[in-house]
Amino acid sequence: MNLQTVGTSPHRGGGFERITGQQKYVADIKLSGMLESKLVTIDSAHAKILSIDTTDAKKIPGVRLVMTSADLPQPVPRFGPQIADRPVLADGEVKFHGEPVALVVAETIEAAEEAVRLVNVQYEELPVAFTVATALDPAAPLVMDASLRPDEPLAKTNIFKEHHFGWGEIDDSKADLIVDNTYSFPMVTQFAIEPHAFIAAPDKDGIAVWSTIQHPYWLQKILANLLNLPLSKVRVYAPDPGGGFGGKQHTKYEPALVFAAVKLGCPVRLVLTLEETFQAVRRTSCDTHIRTGFTRDGKIVFQDITANYLLGAYVDIADRVVAKGSYAGAGPYNVPVVRIVSRSILSHTPPATAFRGFGNPEVNWAVESNIDEAARLLGIDRLEIRLRNLAEKGDKFIPYDKPSDGNWRQTVLRAAELIEWQKPLLPSHHRGIAVGIKLGPTTGLSYSLVRLLVDGSVIVSCGTSDMGQGARTVFAQIAAEELGVPYEKVNVIMGDTATVLYDQQTSASRSTVLMGNSVLKACYSIHAQLKTRLAKVYQIDESEITVEHGKVKLPDREAPIAELIKSALGKLGGEIVGVGEERKDAEKDHPLGGSACFYEFNCTAIEAEVDKNTGDITITRYVTVSDVGKSINPMQVHMQDEGAAVQGLGHTLMEHYIFDEKGRIRNLGAADYRILTTMDLPKEFYSETVENADGPGPYGAKGMSEGALLCVSAAVACAVGDAIGTTIKDLPLTPERVWTAIQTQKSISSPQ
Amino acid sequence: MHDFEYIRPKTIDEAVSFLDVHGPDARILAGGTDLLIQLRNNDIQPSFVLDLKNIPELQTGIQMKNGFVSIGATVTMSELIMNPLIDRYFPALIDAAEVVGSVQIRNRATLVGNICNASPAADSAPPLLVYGAEVIAVGSKEARHIPLNDFFVRSGVTILQKGEFVASIELPVPRKKMGAAHVRRTRRRGHDLASVTLCCGVEETGTVRLCYGSVGPRPILVVDESGVLADERASEEAKAAIFESMFAQASPSKKSMRASPAYRLAMLRVLGRQALKLALERLHEGGK
Amino acid sequence: MEKLVPIEMNINYQHYRLNVSPIKRLLDVLREDLDLIGTKECCGIGECGACTVLVNGRAINSCLMLAVEADGADILTAEGLSNNGRLDSLQEAFLEKGAVQCGFCIPGQLIAAKYLLTQNPHPTRQEVEEGMAGNLCRCGGYERIIDAVISVAEKGEKQK
């Protein structure tokens, strides 16, 4: 196929607005008569609310409303994507540090802030469960009221759900070596540079909401349910988010805002502080106990994985994170016997939700670290041990799911080549290599609308959220390609549930594949209609006309679609409208409700230096190679993979929540929660792709952008392990932690 | 932010008389990089914010007078870094100023402000103490020259009295040849609050002045006149013993989330050796 | 209520007379009073650089400056980078090198880069890393941001 626009890297759609400061994010939107609001919280992770006195707060000039759960319909409405467990405002009990007990609405933000300080909340501290151990303690307080899940046998425990995956029967005697370790993955936050922001406004007999949301249609559904409104009366505007990373997938404070806006009859805005976003969204932390059996020659005999994921006080989408994140826990390997038990454990911590990698990085680093340890103990090269077990294309490495859909060996070998795996290293330098795999979406539904206008320009409207991944660019490229118009003439419209067709969600690296295919189908529909029109105009048979890949072939000539559209539409002009629908239906008996649409596969290899005196890690070379099927926009693919690497280095090297003994977060905000800066980057950076056009998306594309984050921790930890002769089992690998491991090693090797 | 009134005095006297009346209700603003955070977080709720930046008497910049280099209250970290006098005589102060926050912070944060906050982690404190800095405080009485070592009381608390503020800092130009260097530990390479800071100054006589911060309620200055540390022929054991006695006053807090006491104490020793090496190099390069 | 203070500023080469509340930060006045929404707020404590603007030619965090302090100042925000529709070479380079993902940090990054190049027209890669360290990008686009800044510096060199 001779591609024109696809496979090139035009400027990012929306790029001009972003470099000139004109891009409007939610916090930049002003509505006339709009009021400001602030959340009222208490400094406790778990408390019984005895009383809330709003008298003084209401006296502040400009304050229009101080809303507590008592002002809401009773019983207090609850919502959530998996279970309706979360009250619109704390209902008698605060279950995590930062859970709002009231919302203050005022004419100015200063008045709202002043009033927040004057809301007098009397409360009684209750025992707190904020770690896996304390939450699983039989004496632990119950986080979720058992009445919310009456038919659940686990309702009297803090386990929301326990998932079991695997095949075969584990037999320890089949293994020459069993590596048995427990690894912990820290609690980290998405830290989008754009803090969450929301506006709610009455809209005739319905409501309108602006939100930094990734899944506007899901928000629309939740709000319609809460307010008992038809979907058609709930309009969600979703301007491009300033970074999402999963943390903006689901409904947060929109319901509270909507109730306030309806009560007051005017628009109300809430912009979170960065500190508040830490208390709104985070990744599941996880303790993974893993036993891996090996033969003497390094073949994996079994994987026995128990992953205890720590959820927050409300489930959000985190139980799905647990199921999907642990399901492929055994990795991209042919493993004869697998047993995976993963638990979603509720705790008095901020609600965990989706975060790039969706539960996979948590287990991946345990699995890959265990393989490294086996290689060390068996005296096998660490690259070789992985190649010996890696699934080949077509292998049913998960017996009841999609077979391997890529030449993964090619990816691994390319990464090894780029890191110069076989080349001797300076004694001070060490290497690590790891692979990661993640399932793409298991179900999906994406509609799109493509309009080919009379002048040969195009409008694509689709419900994907472009939060930085560059979806706008990709869909414009596909439409440009198929309709034979220049990229610059395509306008992509997103982010309004009232005018843009339904899309299930923007997650699981799905959009290029599912929405991409939907746009493709819309273009095919335009091709067919164009053919009918042209046959009429030229009075020839449709079979004499071919319309594909932007071109029309007539019996006597060939021309780009854009050149013929005017004559095809005739005197009245107008446009040709194509609707695309891409569907991945649920599979009833599948353990996840559906098989993988594709796999994201990545190999990350690094070279590092470890300072034995300080524990400092310097990454001297970083290699990330992803199997993406086909890059629709090569530059954006690399941008995504580089970004995923940098983000992955965050939880690997420095990011983690720090709690006090009462479960309160001590390092809220940017002062003591560190993320990478320009000075913390690897010294050399290489990002590459493997493209065999073997994906289910347009032109053979697979989803991408999460893959490059999956095995960052393992690759770094493996290099550090090689440097200091021991595997560190807790992230992040702070200098202090590395130094402590070195000291422990020293005292073991030279006992006094 | 809580309501406050913004006051912009034109003279030191005006500022002093205002502070005399409103002292406890007023906060002083120079660079604002700490003050605005405290205001935003509602850690403080002053009725008045007194901006010193428009007082010509305080805009003295960096100047040499009578064997001292004087640094005025409005001098920012960026100005300090670019200044030839500082570069010539006090390079360790530049080491420290260069790692205060980001460029944006250094363009606003003042040296005097950094000192007046009396944070145990303040980067500029160790080099200033090693160089023997004095603080010039003005108030309703006569201006006071306070040795910096007497200025710090504990975290967040200085010796300044009601109505007093710091007009400048004076550094004596070293009379003997001296090499000095400032180093620190942070959790990342990009701008960060230090978990240990240390400055080492070596005079040609062999006297070593060491100051370390963030391992106790205030920075600690210790002096060793044995000459062992500067002696190339001295054994590592002998040097280690000197360092041990110099570090005896370190008492890192168990409560800090930036690093554990064990790690801080170990890093103090690493930084000590690192700074000593750099200071000696600078001494041998001709004294800097 | 607090007293309003009259101030004057030149913002993006345009003169403004305003009465501002003393408790308003420069960031608030730019965004709320003047609709210059290109200057963004993330951390609010001078750690992220999203609110970076030039005040009298120097890059500062506008979340750590009161608007009243900017009385008499010349201010440049991201909106002022392009001139009569002509993009600044940094803006072009950011697009060209793929430095723009979600875009929220970009106005601040551009201003920080502008400042860096005025201070040091021919920076080394390490100097760019140091000069841009006060601007966080959670999309992790740092490599490309650095590439973009360097490409502009190199272009400037060629023109000489």
CATH of the domain at B26: 3.30.43.10
Helix (H, G, I), strand (E, B) or coil at C128: helix
d(CA A337, CA B137): 75
3-class secondary structure for B153-201?
A: EECCEECCCCCCEEEEEEEECCCCCEEEEEEEECCCCCCCCCCEEEEEE
Tell me: do B155 and B241 sit in the same domain. Answer: no
Tell me: do A550 and A698 sit in the same domain. Answer: no
Confidence of residue B286 (pLDDT cuts 50, 70, 90): confident
Mean pLDDT of the B166-171 span: 98
Tell me: do B197 and B207 sit in the same domain. Answer: yes
d(CA B133, CA A670): 33
Q: Do A265 and A65 form a contact (C-beta atoms < 8 A)?
A: no
Model pLDDT for residues A115-160, shown as the tens digit of each residue: 999 999 999 999 999 999 999 999 999 999 999 999 999 999 999 9
d(CA A315, CA A190): 17
Judged by a CB distance cut-off of 8 A, whether residue B114 touches chain C is no
Q: Please tell me the pTM assigned to this model.
A: 0.98
Among A263, A278, A293, residue at a domain's last position = A278
Among B172, B207, B236, residue at a domain's last position = B172
pLDDT(A715) > 60? yes
Tell me: do B18 and B64 sit in the same domain. Answer: no
Q: What residue of B is the nearest CA neighbor of C65? A: B32
Distances (CA, A) of B97 to A56, A251, A564, B108: 46, 45, 67, 12
- Tell me the percentage of chain B whose pLDDT exceeds 70: 99
Q: Which two tokens stand for residue B270?
A: 């690493």
> What DSSP state is assigned to residue A449?
E
Mean pLDDT of the A235-257 span: 98
pLDDT(C160) > 70? no
pLDDT(A646) > 50? yes
The DSSP element (H or E) to which B138 belongs, if any, is: strand B134-138
Non-local CB neighbours of A556 within 8 Å, separated by 6+ positions: none
Residue positions of A annotated with a catalytic role: 706
Among B106, B140, B172, residue at a domain's last position = B172
Rounded mean pLDDT of chain B? 96
Domains of chain C: which residue ranges? Answer: 5-80, 89-159
Does a structural domain hold residue A183?
A: no
Judged by a CB distance cut-off of 8 A, whether residue A671 touches chain C is yes
Angle CA A606–A424–A649, to nearest 5: 10
Tell me: do B216 and B109 sit in the same domain. Answer: no
Mean pLDDT of the A32-36 span: 97
Model pLDDT for residues A399-448, shown as the tens digit of each residue: 999 999 999 999 999 999 999 999 999 999 999 999 999 999 999 999 99
Tell me: do B155 and B189 sit in the same domain. Answer: no
Confidence of residue C85 (pLDDT cuts 50, 70, 90): confident
Confidence of residue A192 (pLDDT cuts 50, 70, 90): very high
Tell me: do B50 and B60 sit in the same domain. Answer: no
Nearest by Cα to B166 from B138, B145, B146: B138
Question: If you search the block for the tokens 């709202």, which residue do you land on?
Answer: A112
pLDDT(B280) > 90? yes
Contacting residues of A for C38, CB less than 8 Å apart: 20-22
Tell me which chains share at least 3 CB pairs under 8 Å with chain A. B, C
Domain spanning C89-159: which superfamily?
[2Fe-2S]-binding domain (1.10.150.120)
Rounded to the nearest angstrom, the minimum Cα separation between A659 and chain B is: 9
Domain that holds residue B239: 178-284
pLDDT(A457) > 60? yes
Considering only residues 92 to 111 of chain C, which have any Cβ-Cβ distance to chain A shorter than 8 Å?
Answer: 94-96, 98, 100-107, 110
Among A558, A584, A610, residue at a domain's last position = A584
Number of domains in chain A: 3
- Strand B152-154 and strand B157-158: the pairing is antiparallel
Q: What residue of B is the nearest CA neighbor of A653? A: B188
What's the pLDDT at B130?
98
Does a structural domain hold residue A205?
A: yes
Number of domains in chain B: 3
Tell me: do B184 and B274 sit in the same domain. Answer: yes
- Mutation target to probe the A interface, by most A beta carbons within 10 A, among B184, B192, B260, B277 is B192
Mean pLDDT of the A320-327 span: 98
d(CA B245, CA B227): 14
Tell me: do A380 and A522 sit in the same domain. Answer: no
Confidence of residue B288 (pLDDT cuts 50, 70, 90): low
Nearest by Cα to C102 from A639, A557, B211: A639
CATH of the domain at B68: 3.30.465.10
Contacting residues of B for A667, CB less than 8 Å apart: 257
Domain that holds residue A510: 15-22+444-584
**Residue A549: alpha-carbon gap to chain centroid:** 33
pLDDT(A751) > 70? no
What's the pLDDT at A746?
85
Does a structural domain hold residue A168?
A: no
Nearest-by-Cβ selection for B187 from A666, A679, A734: A734
A725 conformational bin, left if phi > 0, alpha if psi -120 to 50, beta if neither: left
Model pLDDT for residues B68-102, shown as the tens digit of each residue: 999 999 999 999 999 999 999 999 999 999 999 99
- Tell me the percentage of chain A whose pLDDT exceeds 90: 98
pLDDT(A752) > 50? no
Mean pLDDT of the B25-32 span: 97
Tell me: do A82 and A211 sit in the same domain. Answer: yes
Q: Which two tokens stand for residue A360?
A: 């996979």
Tell me: do A113 and A77 sit in the same domain. Answer: yes
Tell me: do A431 and A468 sit in the same domain. Answer: no
Model pLDDT for residues C27-48, shown as the tens digit of each residue: 999 999 999 999 999 999 999 9
Tell me: do B72 and B156 sit in the same domain. Answer: yes
Q: Do C69 and C26 form a contact (C-beta atoms < 8 A)?
A: yes
d(CA A472, CA A327): 31
Tell me: do A613 and A624 sit in the same domain. Answer: yes
Tell me: do A483 and A579 sit in the same domain. Answer: yes
Mean pLDDT of the B145-162 span: 95
Does a structural domain hold residue A155?
A: no
Contacting residues of C for B2, CB less than 8 Å apart: 23
d(CA A602, CA A331): 11
Burial letters C105-133, b for 16+ CB under 10 A, else e: bbbbbbbbbbbbbebeeebeeebbbbbbb
Among A552, A568, A584, residue at a domain's last position = A584
The DSSP code sequence of A98-154 is T--SEEEEESSHHHHHHHHHH-EEEEEE-----SHHHHHSTTSPPSS-GGGSTT-GG
Confidence of residue B23 (pLDDT cuts 50, 70, 90): confident
- Strand A575-584 and strand A599-610: the pairing is unpaired
Distances (CA, A) of A363 to A284, A387, C115: 11, 20, 43
Q: Do B153 and B135 form a contact (C-beta atoms < 8 A)?
A: no
What's the pLDDT at C156?
80
Confidence of residue A750 (pLDDT cuts 50, 70, 90): low
Tell me: do A358 and A271 sit in the same domain. Answer: no
Mean pLDDT of the A44-72 span: 98
CATH of the domain at A598: 3.30.365.10
Nearest by Cα to C65 from C77, C53, C57: C53
Tell me: do B76 and B123 sit in the same domain. Answer: yes
> What DSSP state is assigned to residue A488?
G
CATH of the domain at B265: 3.30.390.50
Task: List the B26-29 sheet strands across, edge first.
Answer: B5-7, B48-51, B26-29
- Mutation target to probe the C interface, by most C beta carbons within 10 A, among B5, B48, B76, B103 is B103
Does a structural domain hold residue A422?
A: yes
Tell me: do B199 and B239 sit in the same domain. Answer: yes
Tell me: do B184 and B135 sit in the same domain. Answer: no
Rounded mean pLDDT of chain A? 97
Q: Which CATH code for domain C5-80?
A: 3.10.20.30
Tell me: do A609 and A637 sit in the same domain. Answer: yes
Does a structural domain hold residue A147?
A: no
The distance in angstroms from the start CA to the end CA of chain A is: 71
Does a structural domain hold residue A163?
A: no
What's the pLDDT at A688?
98
d(CA A672, CA A195): 17
Cβ-defined contact of B191 to C44 (cutoff 8 Å): no
Among B172, B187, B208, residue at a domain's last position = B172
Nearest-by-Cβ selection for C134 from B40, B49, B191: B191
Residue A109 has phi, psi (to 5 degrees) of -70, -30
Rounded to the nearest angstrom, the minimum Cα separation between C71 and chain A is: 22
Tell me: do B275 and B188 sit in the same domain. Answer: yes
Model pLDDT for residues B208-225, shown as the tens digit of each residue: 999 999 999 999 999 999
Mean pLDDT of the C51-77 span: 98
| ipTM rounded to 2 decimals | 0.97
Amino acid letter at A510? R
Looking at A177-332, list the stretches that DSSP marks H as alpha helix, in order from N- to C-terminal side.
216-227, 254-264, 274-278, 318-327
Does a structural domain hold residue A370?
A: yes
A528 conformational bin, left if phi > 0, alpha if psi -120 to 50, beta if neither: alpha
pLDDT(A579) > 50? yes
